[in-house]
């Protein structure tokens, strides 16, 4: 169908015959995301609030299906690019968000740190330098005022506001560190997401980015786990995967919408989460609160 035929098809959403409308809506949904610009044009030119609402629902559904498809493809493709995974999560609420623009912003953060960074420093000194740059120069900080806001799980919002929850702050810290060739990885602790510095020489310690880059040890994790009265698992000490990180971001987002009483968005985010679930990935939501 050419553009004129597509526009004519969409105009039938305002038809008085309900069967015609249902058939047209089904056809539009089958044609997918390519229909969104035409739907937006029809919405802008309409003075019928019922038609506008119908178009809004269709656009949302098409954009949502696109998020599901992208996330499924990202996971099946090996989940190689963490920033891409975070971008897909953010497109749930910001469908026009540009991945290239996100990459440019993160690259600029890296450059801002790199100009004052010396690669030959001892690991402890490297992290002190990272902390100074991340918190003092780049002005990132924990969003304690609006801790349960969904914006804390949206990478574009965290980049703009310089405020985030533990996992989004950790991810940005880690993306910059990796560009500096530092062996920094995410670690899935219960109720708290942290980072580990782990190099090939056997040096390993941990970084609590939400607590302004506080460095701690394996013994500190032992004590933390014992206080929670749960079994010590290897996953509490070792690097996690990009898919693990995105699953945790989505669990946090689910919890944020639950606290807002937004049951429809809870349902939708849970479906996105299902596209990146591994077999046996059934840890309760309480183990993945916004920490």
Contact criterion met (CB below 8 Å) for 138 and 81 = no
Strands 163-164 and 184-189: unpaired
pLDDT surpassing 50 at residue 288: no
What would the pLDDT profile of 32-76 be if each residue is shown by its tens digit? 778 888 888 877 877 788 888 888 888 898 999 999 999 999 999
Would you call 212 exposed, middle or buried from its count of C-beta atoms within 10 A (0-12, 13-18, 19+)? middle
Q: pLDDT tens across 108-148, in order?
A: 999 999 998 987 889 999 999 999 999 999 999 999 888 88
Q: How many Å from the N-terminal Cα to the C-terminal Cα in the chain?
A: 50
pLDDT class for 283, splitting at 50, 70, 90? very low
Coil, strand or helix: which one is 175?
A: helix
Q: Which two tokens stand for residue 13?
A: 């959403």
Separation between Cα atoms, residue 113 and residue 130, nearest integer Å: 7
C-alpha span between 116 and 132 (Å, rounded): 10
pLDDT category at 249 given cuts 50, 70, 90 is: very high
Instruction: Sort 235 into a burial class: Cβ within 10 Å, 0-12 / 13-18 / 19+.
Output: middle
Q: Nearest-5° angle of CA 246, CA 163, CA 191?
A: 50
Structure confidence by residue, pLDDT tens digits, 75-111: 999 999 999 999 999 999 999 999 999 999 999 999 9
Which strand (E) or helix (H) includes residue 204? strand 204-208
* C-alpha closest to that of 205 among 193, 219, 191: 219
Q: What is the pLDDT of residue 257?
A: 96
Tell me what pLDDT residue 279 has: 59
Averaged pLDDT for residues 28-35: 81
Among candidates 249, 208, 212, which has minimal Cα distance to 134?
Answer: 212
Question: Quick check: 234 pLDDT over 60?
Answer: yes
Averaged pLDDT score across all residues of the chain: 90
- pTM of the predicted protein model: 0.86
């Amino acid at each position: 169908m050419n553009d004129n035929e597509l526009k004519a098809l969409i105009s039938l959403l305002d038809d008085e015959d309900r069967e015609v409308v249902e058939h047209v809506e089904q056809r539009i949904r089958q044609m997918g995301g390519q229909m969104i610009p035409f739907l937006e044009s029809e919405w802008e030119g309409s003075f019928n609030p019922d038609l506008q609402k119908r178009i809004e629902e269709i656009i949302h559904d098409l954009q949502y299906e696109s998020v599901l498809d992208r996330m499924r493809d990202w996971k099946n493709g090996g989940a190689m690019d963490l920033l891409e995974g975070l971008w897909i999560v953010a497109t749930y609420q910001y469908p026009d968000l540009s991945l290239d623009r996100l990459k440019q912003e993160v690259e600029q953060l890296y450059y801002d740190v790199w100009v004052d960074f010396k690669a030959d420093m001892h690991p402890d000194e490297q992290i002190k330098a990272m902390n100074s740059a991340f918190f003092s120069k780049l002005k990132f900080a924990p969003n304690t005022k609006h801790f349960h806001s969904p914006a804390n799980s949206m990478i574009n919002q965290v980049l703009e506001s310089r405020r985030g929850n533990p996992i989004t702050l950790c991810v940005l810290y880690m993306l910059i560190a990796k560009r500096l060739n530092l062996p920094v990885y995410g670690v899935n602790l219960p109720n708290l997401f942290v980072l580990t510095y782990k190099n090939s020489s056997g040096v390993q310690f941990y970084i609590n980015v939400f607590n302004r880059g506080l460095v701690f040890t394996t013994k500190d994790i032992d004590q933390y786990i014992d206080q929670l009265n749960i079994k010590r698992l290897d996953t509490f000490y070792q690097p996690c995967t990009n898919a693990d990180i995105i699953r945790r971001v989505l669990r946090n987002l689910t919890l944020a919408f639950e606290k807002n009483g937004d049951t429809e968005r809870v349902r939708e985010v849970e479906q996105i989460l299902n596209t990146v679930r591994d077999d046996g990935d059934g840890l309760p939501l309480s183990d993945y609160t916004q920490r």
